[in-house]
Amino acid sequence: MKNELISKTNEQLLNQLKGVRTLIGALIGILTVLLITTTYCIIAQENKMIFIPLLSVVFSCIAILPLQRKSIKAINAELKKRE
């Protein structure tokens, strides 16, 4: 990934940074809504077996967030190095 960042221009890095931040924000929003909805349905509904797999989807998608955060840190480090 470092070699990929070195070959990009500052404008491309800023666009990539903006895209990753947008992706993280959207993912956090969607996962929050899914978690709240799933939790409510597990508590309120009698047929809980439908909603339990959705919890595993939420928790597995949460694992993407640290990877994206690492990507943001790498882009920021490359931009600071160029200044």
Is 17 within a domain? yes
**Do the domain assignments include residue 28?**
yes
The 10s digit of each residue's pLDDT in 33-57 is 999 999 998 898 888 888 888 889 9
Does residue 3 lie within any of the structural domains? Answer: no
pTM recorded for the entire structure: 0.81
> 38 is in which domain, residue-wise?
9-82
Residue pLDDT, tens place only, 6-24:
889 999 999 999 999 999 9
Taking the C-alpha atoms of residue 71 and residue 61, their distance in angstroms, rounded to an integer, is 16
Q: Number of structural domains, the chain? A: 1
In a domain, 73, yes or no: yes
Tell me 8's DSSP state: S
Query: Would you say 79 and 10 are in contact if contact means Cβ atoms under 8 Å apart?
Result: yes
pLDDT tens digit sequence for 59-79: 999 999 999 999 999 999 999
Q: Does residue 43 lie in a domain region?
A: yes
Does residue 2 lie in a domain region? no
- Length of the chain equals 83
In this structure, is residue 4 part of a structural domain?
no
1 pLDDT band, cuts 50/70/90, is low
